Amino acid sequence: MSQSTPFSGSEIIYLSPEQVISDERYNVRLWSDGGSEEEAHQVELLAETIERDGQIDAAVVIPSDGSYICVVGNRRKRAISMINERRTRQGKPLLKLRVVVDRSGDDPLRKAIVSNLHRRDFTPMDMAALVKKLRDLHDWHEYKGAKEIAHYLQVDVATVCQYERFLDLDVDIQKAIHEGVISCQSGFDLLNVSPERRADVLKLARSIQDVRKPSHRIEHPAIVDAIRETKTEQRPIARSRREILEWLSMQDGPGNGLENNPCRLFCRYFVETWAKGEGSEDKLQTLWFRMTATERKPSARRTNRV
């Protein structure tokens, strides 16, 4: 028995979990679905909820060679399998998995991404791993590839570049970001610390946090103070034009505040307009003075473009 759905080319049916195949191609939560104890605990909690209240949201599958591939809802599938294992031992009726069969032919990976991207448990490390997956899958490399990924995910390029940099952090720091021990913003701050100092900064931040208000989570002010206390002078490194533009692009991202933040407005204008030989120096300098909170007026002197 099937039901029609509001979505063209789709229907709702009920399948046993064994009839639904998990496919790694559509796994967009590469950190969260890594088989950790926390993940197993989350599936157990979901199983308890389904047992008590029923399956609220349907999984999404696509038909393939007489079977069905799960695009969205692998946790639901695993939770119902867990329930059925217990029910088998107890001699109780087994549950079916409620699924939407998507026959639209649209990109199933993108549907999987959209369904997860704004979930509360979709972590910054999930986002970082997803960017890498898209690079490898579509051969989208370097800055041009970042623009392709941004278009695919419907986010800005700076978001792609910033989150991807989390992959350069030590595993312990990545785990702390994923588990919420430190915030996404704190992760962005740690990216600006030299790699050899990051572990010391995090250790000091933990000590600061324990003194102020003992908590599993290291709050952002403790991270900032730890960075200040361990800061040492570093020798500047010359950057190429491409590297400068990439760096400025990254400043126009969520790590630097809201969309209309003066810093983001300046960087956006510089990269998207000024560096292409367009726009005016007056506007560039106006944005610069606004960003640096000065009262100076833009001069009429023209400088060389990057």
The answer on pLDDT for 297 being more than 80 is no
Domain-ending residue, one of 108, 124, 149 = 108
**Per the domain annotation, does 298 fall within a domain?**
no
Please report the pLDDT score of residue 4 as a whole number.
Answer: 43
Please report the pLDDT score of residue 295 as a whole number.
Answer: 43
* Together in a domain, 216 and 265: no
Of the listed ranges 116-120, 138-142, 175-179, 219-223, the one predicted with least confidence: 116-120
* Together in a domain, 223 and 257: no
Query: Domain of 255?
Result: 241-291
Rounded CA-CA distance 18/71 in Å is 15
**Per the domain annotation, does 90 fall within a domain?**
yes
pTM assigned to the model: 0.68
| 167 against 281, higher pLDDT | 167
**Per the domain annotation, does 56 fall within a domain?**
yes
Contact 101, 63 (CB under 8 A): yes
**Per the domain annotation, does 305 fall within a domain?**
no
* Together in a domain, 15 and 81: yes
Model pLDDT for residues 134-144, shown as the tens digit of each residue = 999 999 988 88
Model pLDDT for residues 134-180, shown as the tens digit of each residue = 999 999 988 889 999 999 998 888 889 889 999 989 999 999 999 89
Domain-ending residue, one of 189, 206, 230 = 230
Rounded CA-CA distance 66/260 in Å is 51
**Per the domain annotation, does 283 fall within a domain?**
yes
